[in-house]
Every structure is written in C-alpha cells, then in structure tokens.
Amino acid sequence: MTDPFPAGDVPEGVSASADVSIEELQLSLRNHGMHLEGLRYDVTPAGMHYLLIHFDVPEGDDATWLLTVDGLVDTAMALSMADLRSRPRVTVQVTMECAGNGRARLTPRPISQPWLTEAIGTAEWTGTPLRPILEEAGVQDDAVELVFTGADRGIQGDVEQDYQRSLAISDAMRQEVLLVYEMNGAPLPPQHGFPLRLVVPGWYGMTSVKWLTGITAVAEPFEGFQQTAYRFRQRPEDEGEPVTRMRPRSLMIPPGIPDFLTRRRFVDAGTVELRGRAWSGTGPIERVEVSADAGASWADARLGRPASPYAWTPWTFTWDASPGQYELSPRATDAGGNTQPLEQPWNLHGFANNSVQRVPVEVRAR
Ligand SMILES: Nc1nc2c(c(=O)[nH]1)N[C@H]1C(S)=C(S)[C@@H](COP(=O)(O)O)O[C@H]1N2
Ligand SMILES: [Mo]
C-alpha cells in the first residue's frame, strides 16, 4: 500500500502509528468481533456475532415500544410491537459486515473501532417486510428518502445526535428489507437492537438501524452525521461517494492450533482441509481461490450453497502441507466480476477494506 501522506502530515482522525490507543481498546471491548472459528456455523451463535454500538445500548420495553411512520406520508402510523408481530412473519439468513472491517490494517490508520477482519456474522433474522407498511402509510411523490431513527443518542465529531441513517425510497421498498424483532429464533438481544431493528440485506451494517423508533419520509437527501460520515474520502474536505453495499470478501477458519499471545498458527504436515465462507453485496459468490504463497499463485476452492441469497457461501480447499512457513489467503469473486484486492486502496475512515485475509502458518514435520 502506498502511503497517501508521505510527508507524515496526516489529517486529524488518522494515526501514523500501527499501535492502537487505550481509547480504541475501550471501543474494541464494547464492540467485539466474531471468533473466526465461528465460520464453521451456517448461523453465527448470537453471542459470537460481531457488534457495533456507537453510543450506549438504550433501554427498550417491548410492551410500550412504538415505531412511528411520518413525514411525507398520507397516513402517519404508530405501530406497537404487538402490531408488528401480527403482520406477515418472515425469517431469513443474512450476512452482515461492518463497513469498517479491515480498517486497522491500513497505513496510516484511521482512528475508530480497530477491526482486523472479524466484523462479521450471519444471523437468522425474523420480522416483517417494510414495504407493505410504507404502502399503507402512502409515501408521497415528493419524498426522496426515508430517515430511520434509533433510540440511542450520543456525540460524535462534536455533533450531538440520535443514530440516524437514510435510504432512497427504491432501496427501502426492496422486498428483502425487514423490520426485525428476533435473532436466531429468540427476541433480539439488547446489544443487537431489542426490541426492533431494521435489516437491509447486502448493505454494510451501518444501514441496519437498531433500536428503531421512527421512519420519516423527507423531501431532500438526508445529511445527518451518520449519513455524511460513511463516504469514501481521501481528505476531510472531499465530497466522496457513499458507502453502500458490501464488497466481496472471503475468510477462512485459521487452521491448526494458535499461539496464545500472537495467535500464530501451527499445523502438522499432511492433508489439511481448509474451510471458510465468502459473501458479497454486489452479486452471488462465483469463485473462491486459495493461495499458500502470499498471493503468488492461486487454486480454486470448492463452493457450497448459501442458505439464502443474502447469506455467505461456504467453501473448502484441500491443502497438501509440507513443512515450512506459509501465508494462506482466500480470495472471493462475485457474479458482478468484483474481486478482492491484494493491496487495499486507502480511504480516510477506512471503509470497505476487503483486501485478502492473510494467515501466517508454520507447518511442522510429523
Ligand atoms: N441505532 C443504532 N443502529 C446501528 C448502530 C448504532 O450504533 N446505533 N451501529 C450500526 C453499525 S455501524 C453496524 S456495523 C451494525 C452492527 O449491528 P450488530 O451490532 O447487530 O452486529 O449496526 C448498525 N446499526
Ligand atoms: Mo459498522
């Protein structure tokens, strides 16, 4: 990766040091990742699914919670959880990834939640489709977006705010967009949005607003903090393109056994079955390749079938491991022709960093 600030004059919010601070450690304890061995499960156990909570987990009461639908609609609505549960019920497996996944590997390093590659999970979400509710409310012709508001409040970038994100009407009307009240067959855990959240399959996680209290149809594109923050910028003053759908990524279960502190891997020589999962928000996964020589050469993995169009695709690869030092990488390509890069182009907040996973492995003679 070429350093975008060779003179060392990095902008505010970016660190020239690879070392994370106590503040970043504090964030990463509140917002844990998925253990990569959790890639063995189709559905990630709820406690293993990654978490990203910008502010505090708000208190939610199922009995009194109300979702309001207002703004440029013919009929404003206020829906209780009982109302929402009495509507058509849908369950779907969805793979969700934080847009900041991979951020901590960038140089210089954007200062925020310091993800390596583990900001991922697949849950079985149960809820009711959003579209019929919008149709009942009657979104007016002059509305361009819907703003989704969460019950959590805090300060980011000196701006006090409710957590809010918007979607274009056409994106919000897609049949797969759900108002969700269960995760893996149980009520949503508090940290995942209890009692109600939005789930927007295929998009990076920031779109799926948790602790959802309001949906407002508006006449102008929404420019709240969490909307304008998620753009690909090189410099703070850049306008940038919005961060939307997940780029392709593949991860493997690190093989063998780890060293406690460094998590370096030790594998016995012989035939090793490598396993992993791949996903993309820009088309089904068409190909996964594996390299054992730091990306110099690649061979195709065998693909399994995803449980839903929005869930990750399992893959396996038989590796004939002889003693020595290796760097293992899987690389995914989707039907849109998008492939993971070996070196990540840099952006200011470290979004959509889908460069290939690199797993150093020492193979020992048996
Ligand atoms: N209200 C609210 N919704 C939110 C967030 C938040 O902080 N507050 N974080 C977002 C981000 S950045 C991500 S990646 C996902 C994480 O969802 P999870 O914690 O259920 O994995 O929730 C999104 N929805
Ligand atoms: Mo995120």
Q: Is 92 in the pocket of ligand 1 (CB under 6 A)?
A: no
In angstroms, the CA 4 to CA 287 distance is 31
CATH 3.30.230.10 fits 249-364, yes or no: no
For ligand 1, atom 24, the nearest C-alpha belongs to 209
Q: What is the pLDDT of residue 261?
A: 97
DSSP state of 277: E
> Which atom of ligand 1 sits closest to the CA of residue 198?
24
Query: What pLDDT is attached to residue 6?
Result: 67
Per the structure block, which two tokens stand in for 74? Answer: 């013919």
Q: What is the pLDDT of residue 1?
A: 54
Q: Is the CB of 198 under 6 A from ligand 1?
A: no
Q: Which of 53, 147, 162, 178 gets mutated to test ligand 1 (max ligand atoms within 8 A of its CB)?
A: 53
Q: Give the residue extent of every domain in the chain.
A: 14-242, 249-364
CA of 228 to the centre of ligand 1 (A): 16
Q: What is the pLDDT of residue 3?
A: 63
DSSP H or E run through 169: helix 169-172
Q: What is the structure's pLDDT at 4? A: 72
Kindly tell me the sign of the dihedral angle through the C-alpha atoms of 134, 136, 139, 141. Answer: positive
- Those residues whose C-beta lies under 8 Å from the C-beta of residue 132, and which sit 6 or more positions away, are 87, 88
Secondary structure of 194-244 as H, E, C letters: CCCEEECCCECHHHCCCCEEEEEEECCCCCCHHHHHCEECCCCCCCCEECC
From the CB of 215, is ligand 1 less than 6 Å away?
A: no
Q: Is the CB of 210 under 6 A from ligand 1?
A: yes
Please tell me if the domain spanning 14-242 has the same topology as the one spanning 249-364. Answer: no
Q: What pLDDT is attached to residue 136?
A: 98
| β-pairing verdict for 178-183 and 14-15 | unpaired
Nearest CA to ligand 1 atom 21: 51
The verdict on the CB of residue 54 being under 6 Å from ligand 1 is yes
**246 touches ligand 1 (CB under 6 Å):** no
Those residues whose C-beta lies under 8 Å from the C-beta of residue 221, and which sit 6 or more positions away, are 144, 145, 166
Amino acid at 322: S
Cβ of 103 less than 6 Å from ligand 1: no
For every residue of 297-365, DSSP letters joined together read S-EEPEE---SSTTSPEEEEEEEEE-SEEEEEEEEEEETTS-B--SSPPP-TT--S--PPP-EEEEEEP
pLDDT of residue 297: 98
Ligand 1 centroid–CA 245 distance in Å is 15
**Measured distance CA(307)–CA(88) in Å, rounded:** 21
Instruction: Report the separation in Å between the CA atom of 100 and the middle of ligand 2, taken as the mean of its atom positions.
Output: 6
pLDDT above 90 covers a percentage of the chain that reads 95
Give average pLDDT by consecutive 10-residue segment, the chain, 366 residues: 68 89 96 98 98 97 98 98 98 98 95 97 99 98 98 97 98 98 98 98 98 98 98 96 98 98 97 98 98 97 98 98 98 98 95 98 96
- What is the architecture, at CATH level 2, of domain 14-242? Alpha-Beta Complex (3.90)
For the CA of 183, the nearest ligand: 1
